[in-house]
Amino acid sequence: MPRTKKEESYEALVRELETTRQATMFMRMYDHYMAHIKDLDYMPVIWAKVKDFEEYNKKHETDECFKEVVDALGNFYEGLGVIVREGFMDIRLVALMWGGMTRSYWENIVQPAVQGMRRHYSFPRALSETEYVCRELVKYMSEHPELKT
């Protein structure tokens, strides 16, 4: 049975509201995140590479800027991971806005250190939502080479 104009109009409104909700949530998270690190020299931290948890931990204990940036990013990506996993935000938005930074944070800092961190703290879920959103982003970006950074 064909849909009525009223049904089509309602569906369009629901799609528009969903898009607006995602954009609002995304920008609130972005604003909150930037407020935490805007005064720090965060780009060298994001592009720095650690080889394992021991190197990560040493930097975390001795470099205040590194500590502040990775702690803020860890909190941010843990929240973002939950929001993406639960379907409140599409991974496409993360890829478009933070693709390069997220990928660098994952590949240079989190991925080399996370297993050691989990063992060290006896916390198997440490950064699990960060890992989820980063892996989903890497997968999405490999499926969309036009987003390669």
Global confidence as pTM? 0.80
Q: Of residues 55 and 148, which shows the higher confidence score?
A: 55
Domain count, the chain: 1
Q: Rounded to an integer, what is the distance from CA 131 to the centroid of its chain?
A: 9
Most confident range (mean pLDDT) of 12-21, 37-46, 75-84, 121-130 is 121-130
For position 15, what pLDDT does the model report? Answer: 74
**Mean pLDDT of all residues in the chain?**
89
Print the domain residue range for 27. 5-147
**Can you list the alpha helix ranges (DSSP code H) found in 38-110?**
42-47, 53-62, 64-85, 91-105
What per-residue confidence (pLDDT) applies to 121? 96
- Are 140 and 109 in contact by the 8 Å Cβ rule? The answer is no
pLDDT band with cut points at 50, 70 and 90 for residue 58: very high
Relative orientation angle of helices 128-143 and 91-105, to the nearest 10 degrees:
110
